[in-house]
Amino acid sequence: MSVAAIGIICKAPQPGRAKTRLATAIGAVAASELSACFLRDVADAIETVPESLGRRGYGVYAPAGVEHIMRELLPATFGLLLQVGDDLGDVLFGAARDLLDGHDCVLLVNGDSPTLPACFLVRAIEALREPGDRMVLGPASDGGYYLIGLKRPHRQLFTRIAWGTETVARSTCDRAAEIGLATILLPEWYDIDDIEGLTWLKDELAGNSARFRGGGLARASRVFLKAAQRIDP
């Protein structure tokens, strides 16, 4: 049976190293604890994808030496892959290349979207299994992307990209067009890097978001936010 690799691009949730922008608003410890919740929730979304579809989750993590942390956070069925390279483009390309060895397609998702709908993952896998080469891209609200799906590791998709800017998704689509690679876009979703994103999450979990609907339950994040009232913006 064909098996899709679904890799979460993430850093170990350590105080002072995880969610540094969010930490300026809520503190380094709370930010790291919330980051751990995000990873658990994204992993849950991956586990929600039907096994009959063929999938396996991975933690694509950094830095080296934190394997014990990742093992505690992620399901026992997940594999671990150490990030290679300092540039995000190198990290993404290396993960795509390595995970495509032994899998028919790969999805790379960020670890900061705790309500990521599992149906987006299903749609991406199904699209990649159609005949012909293509890229599936999930555009994020900040101009980046929360998911990229591939059947082959095209290095061009990760070059000449101004990472961390609002042009990332658009530039990635441009790179795909330059090499004649078909692109399928998923619905917009969001990641949480700062207090604005945290506010969006709280609104969504409370059922008050008009922009983001149908997301996952985000059980770990929901419990943490309920208990940690001190991080209310």
**Mean confidence (pLDDT) of the chain:** 95
Task: Take residue 5 and report the two structure tokens written for it.
Answer: 């690799």
Question: What does the pLDDT read at residue 230?
Answer: 44
Look at residue 229 in the predicted model and tell me its pLDDT.
Answer: 67
65: left (phi over 0), alpha (psi -120 to 50) or beta: left
Question: What's the token pair of residue 117?
Answer: 């709908």
Rounded distance between C-alpha atoms, residue 190 and residue 142, angstroms: 7
Averaged pLDDT, 61-79:
97
For residue 211, what is the DSSP state?
S
The whole-number average pLDDT for the span 146-150 is 98
Q: What percent of the chain has pLDDT over 70?
A: 98
**What pLDDT digit, counting tens, does each position of 165-185 carry?**
999 999 999 999 999 999 999
